């Protein structure tokens, strides 16, 4: 999919309107020096493009796009709708978003718009139409960039715009107010509605809001943002523009269900800002990269933004270590990206991001950052592209609706962090060098041999059916704890818990046995020791009371109130096996179970016997190896080291060093 003169996209957000035009010539010269192939223009340019309603100024944008084109640099052109200009709120203050507490968010920052505001949408549509009409045939334009990081700052809007749109959305979903009452269980706490006009967004209330209302409001928020994106996409396509369309995601972002968005986009792109100080952040980064690869299987994705060095928005903003940025970039390529872009090209000299690093630092080209940027551009320029990314044999189930339902209060365990638990399993698979697809339950199947579905509390009927069919067809499934508890509407099913998967798991679940977190300053059991066939481990957050109903206990609890009860179970069902963990296992437990499950399911690692701190991923016959550890690491692998051209039977990598190895045919 790559454009320009090289096979990989390389570049970043470019904000030329922050600089006098003389600087632009230096910019493009430096871009060429760094092998930049593409820049993202106009992300925050609305006030410069449209100084007043009905008035457009494209002169500056024409000049910079032409200049870039003359220098062989492509453009990812933003629709510029991410930050409304001052004239808009002056004239139409009703476009501003409102928090759950009723605070109207003021302009002066960015993203101050209510996504369901008809006025915002009308003006955004006018802007996008004007931009697209002007540039759709410009040969520099290689991609369209819808808005920017939808829901980055405003996770949900509770304004009257949202109120009206939420009512319409509910009417569309439920048809009758009776159906809404049934879905939300409004006979509880005197919440019964007699008209859709009585329904509000879940604004702050004296007690917990109705969980059905909360869940539907998350769905509505997702849909209203997606409507904005699709409105822009429709304008682009109906104008006849043919370039691919993207919008930049933010890894596993809670507010927006990217699994629902990805099918509407031509290219998935992601923004990633791992904390350089956090030695584990390459693991959470790996999760986000695998998620992006899995959102559009078989299609390369783009790293749309990362920082070249330090940020400005954490409490303390550490620099990246020498080589760390390049290692993180290689991790994207290994996990399916065909482009590496940054925020931003030239460091701003004013504004709240002036301390944010850039490809071209404020201190200029005599800097380590610049040398690394040039080196990375050169590396990508010489690198062949690989197959998009192999389908994995392991599916890790990650589901936004489940996340939203778990986020609601009033559960047996209200300190569960769903993302933390899922990434814990991902990290164990990463330490075992096993390639993973990250999918909703309905997408489990195909090449998958093993599926891990932790804390899948909300299980839609379709998801439960897919997991059941997967096991019966020969797959190995691990789920639990606190899984298969409610249906897609957050209601219990008749008969108890684990109603859809209980038969294949061969267990029943009686009680959740919530534990107090280890670091909490309050009395109560903090952890449950687990002993079993796969070794010893420690469980947290839950020590559930489960009963065997056909399954065998692979491990039992060996401390606390559940001593002697099953902790991990295994059951043969159809041609496959279904496992259940009645607690949140610690890293050691996850590691041990992963190696058991992988062996049982016949899952092949990308490489065998590599140190756990080596990140390994596969694209066809190319294996990417990156050393995120503190010491040199050696990996036995036979093939061609693509960067050096040498034939190897092993590679030794210094910290942050990486290699792309084209494996010998087996």
Region of 18-26, 148-156, 616-624, 652-660 interacting with ligand GAL (CB under 6 A): 148-156
C-alpha distances out from residue 527 to 104, 161, 328, 515, 543, Å: 43, 46, 35, 6, 8
What residue ranges in 444-494 does DSSP mark as E strands? 450-454, 476-480
Residues between 73 and 132 with contacts to ligand GAL, criterion CB under 6 A: none
Q: How far apart are CA 191 and CA 193, in angstroms?
A: 6
- Contact between 310 and ligand GAL (CB under 6 A)? no
Cα(526)–Cα(178) distance, rounded to whole angstroms?
44
| Nearest to 562, CA basis, from 531, 594, 535 | 531
Structure tokens given for 580: 């259940």
CB of 334 to ligand GAL, least distance (A): 23
Give the count of residues interacting with ligand GAL (CB under 6 A).
10
* Complex with ligand GAL: residue 94 or 275, whichever CB lies closer: 275
**For ligand GAL, which is the closer residue by CB, 271 or 615?**
271
Candidates 147-155, 221-229, 409-417, 521-529 — which segment interacts with ligand GAL by CB under 6 A? 147-155
- Give catalytic status of residue 387 as yes or no: no
Contacts with ligand GAL, 286-305, as mask; x by CB under 6 A: -------------------x
* Residue with smaller CB distance to ligand GAL, 142 or 344: 344
Closer to ligand GAL by CB, 329 or 413: give it: 329
Binding mask 270-289 for ligand GAL (x = CB under 6 A): -x-x----------------
Which residues neighbour 449 within 8 Å (Cβ) at sequence distance 6 or greater? 393, 394, 475, 476, 601, 602, 603
Interface with ligand GAL by CB under 6 A: which range of 59-67, 146-154, 258-266, 631-639? 146-154
User: Helices 418-431 and 400-407 meet at what angle, rounded to 10?
Assistant: 130
CB of 284 to ligand GAL, least distance (A): 16
Q: What are phi and psi of 245, to 5 degrees?
A: -115, 135
Question: Which of 2, 39, 311, 456 contacts ligand GAL by CB under 6 A?
Answer: 311
Is residue 305 annotated as part of the catalytic site, yes or no? yes
Report the distance separating Cα 654 and Cα 613, nearest Å: 12
Q: How many C-beta neighbours within 10 Å does residue 234 have?
A: 12
**Using rule CB under 6 A, residue 167 touches ligand GAL:** no
CB 453 within 8 Å of CB 426: no
State the distance between the two ends of the chain, measured CA to CA, in whole angstroms.
Answer: 29
Active-site annotation holder among 17, 53, 101, 149: 149
Is 343 a binder of ligand GAL (CB under 6 A)?
yes
DSSP 8-state code for residue 107: S
Please pick, from the candidates 356, 426, 571, 619, the single residue that binds ligand GAL as defined by CB under 6 A: 356
Assess contact for 658 and 614: CB atoms under 8 A. no
Identity of the residue, 78 or 453, whose beta carbon is nearer to ligand GAL in the bound complex: 78
Give the CA diameter of the chain.
76
Provide, rounded to whole angstroms, the least separation between the CB of residue 26 and ligand GAL: 22
**Per-residue binding letters, 216-255, with ligand GAL (x by CB under 6 A):** ----------------------------------------
Q: Please tell me whether residue 152 binds ligand GAL under the rule CB under 6 A.
A: yes
| Nearest CB to ligand GAL, comparing residues 40 and 595 | 40
CB 40 to ligand GAL: min, Å? 9
Q: Does 154 bind ligand GAL (CB under 6 A)?
A: no
d(CA 394, CA 413) in angstroms, rounded, equals 28
Q: What angle do CA 27, 368, 32 make, to 5 degrees?
A: 30
Specify the 3-state DSSP secondary structure of 502. Answer: helix
Binding to ligand GAL in span 530-569, by CB under 6 A: none
Closest distance to ligand GAL from the beta carbon of 460 (Å) = 31
Q: Give, in degrees to the nearest 5, the angle at Cα 232 between 230 and 235.
A: 110
* Catalytic member of 22, 171, 305, 510: 305
Q: Which of 485, 568, 570, 558 is nearest to 527 (CA)?
A: 558
User: Residues in the chain, how many?
Assistant: 666
Smaller CB distance to ligand GAL: residue 249 or 660? 249
Q: Which of residues 380-409 bind ligand GAL (CB under 6 A)?
A: none
Whichever of 17 and 353 has its CB closer to ligand GAL, that residue is: 353
> Which residues are near ligand GAL by CB under 6 A?
148-149, 152, 271, 273, 305, 311, 343, 353, 356
Residues annotated catalytic, as ranges: 149, 305
């Amino acid at each position: 999919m790559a454009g320009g003169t090289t096979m990989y996209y390389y570049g970043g957000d470019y904000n030329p309107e922050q600089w006098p035009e003389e600087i632009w010539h230096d910019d493009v010269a430096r871009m060429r020096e760094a092998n930049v192939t593409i820049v993202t223009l106009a992300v925050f340019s609305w006030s410069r493009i449209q100084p007043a309603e009905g008035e457009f100024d494209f002169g500056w944008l024409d000049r910079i796009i032409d200049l870039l084109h003359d220098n062989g640099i492509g453009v990812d052109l933003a629709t510029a709708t991410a930050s409304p200009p001052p004239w808009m709120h002056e004239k139409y203050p009703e476009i501003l978003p409102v928090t759950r507490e009723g605070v109207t968010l003021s302009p002066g920052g960015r993203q101050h718009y209510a996504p369901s505001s008809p006025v915002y949408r009308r003006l955004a549509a006018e802007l996008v139409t004007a931009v697209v009409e002007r540039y759709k045939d410009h040969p520099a334009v290689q991609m369209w960039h819808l808005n920017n990081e939808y829901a980055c700052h405003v996770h949900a809007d509770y304004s009257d715009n949202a109120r009206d749109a939420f009512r319409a959305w509910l009417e569309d979903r439920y048809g009758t107010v009776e159906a809404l009452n049934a879905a939300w269980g409004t006979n509880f706490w005197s919440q019964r509605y007699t008209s859709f006009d009585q329904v509000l967004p879940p604004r702050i209330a004296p007690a917990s809001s109705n969980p059905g209302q909360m869940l539907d409001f998350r769905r509505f928020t997702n849909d209203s943002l997606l409507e904005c994106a699709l409105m822009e996409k429709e304008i682009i396509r109906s104008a006849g523009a043919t370039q691919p369309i993207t919008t930049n995601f933010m890894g596993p972002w809670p507010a927006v269900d990217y699994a629902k968005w990805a099918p509407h986009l031509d290219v998935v792109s992601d923004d990633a800002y791992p904390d350089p100080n956090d030695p584990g952040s390459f693991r959470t980064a790996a999760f986000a990269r695998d998620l992006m690869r899995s959102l559009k299987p078989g299609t390369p994705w783009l790293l749309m933004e990362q920082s070249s060095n330090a940020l400005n928005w954490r409490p303390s903003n550490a620099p990246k270590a020498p080589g760390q940025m390049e290692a993180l970039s290689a991790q994207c390529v290994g996990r399916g990206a065909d482009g590496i872009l940054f925020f931003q090209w030239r460091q701003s000299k004013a504004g709240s991001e002036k301390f944010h690093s850039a490809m071209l630092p404020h201190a200029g080209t005599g800097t380590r950052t610049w040398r690394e940027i040039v080196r990375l551009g050169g590396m990508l320029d010489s690198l062949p592209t690989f197959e998009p990314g192999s389908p994995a044999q392991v599916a890790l189930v990650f589901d936004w609706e489940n996340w939203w339902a778990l986020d609601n209060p009033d559960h047996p365990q209200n300190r569960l962090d769903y993302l933390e638990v899922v990434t814990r399993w991902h990290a164990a698979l990463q330490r075992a060098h096993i390639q993973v697809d990250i999918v909703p339950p309905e997408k489990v199947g195909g090449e998958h041999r093993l599926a891990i579905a932790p804390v899948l509390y909300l299980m839609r009927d379709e998801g439960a059916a897919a997991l059941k069919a997967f096991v019966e067809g020969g797959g190995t499934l691990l789920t639990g704890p606190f899984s298969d508890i409610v249906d897609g509407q957050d209601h219990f099913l008749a008969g108890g818990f684990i109603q859809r998967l209980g038969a294949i798991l061969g267990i029943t679940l009686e009680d959740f046995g919530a534990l107090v977190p280890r670091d909490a300053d309050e009395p109560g059991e903090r952890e449950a020791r687990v002993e079993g066939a796969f070794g010893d481990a420690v469980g947290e957050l839950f020590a559930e009371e489960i009963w065997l109903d056909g399954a065998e206990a692979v491990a039992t609890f060996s401390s606390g109130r559940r001593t002697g009860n099953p902790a991990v179970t295994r059951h043969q069902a159809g041609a496959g096996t279904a496992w259940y963990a009645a607690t949140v296992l610690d890293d050691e437990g996850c590691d041990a179970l992963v190696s058991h499950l992988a062996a049982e399911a016949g899952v092949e690692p990308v490489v065998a016997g590599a140190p756990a701190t080596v990140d390994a991923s596969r694209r066809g016959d190319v294996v990417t190896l990156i050393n995120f550890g503190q010491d040199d690491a050696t990996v036995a692998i036979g093939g061609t080291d693509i960067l050096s051209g040498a034939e190897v039977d092993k590679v030794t990598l210094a910290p942050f060093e990486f290699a792309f190895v084209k494996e010998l045919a087996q």
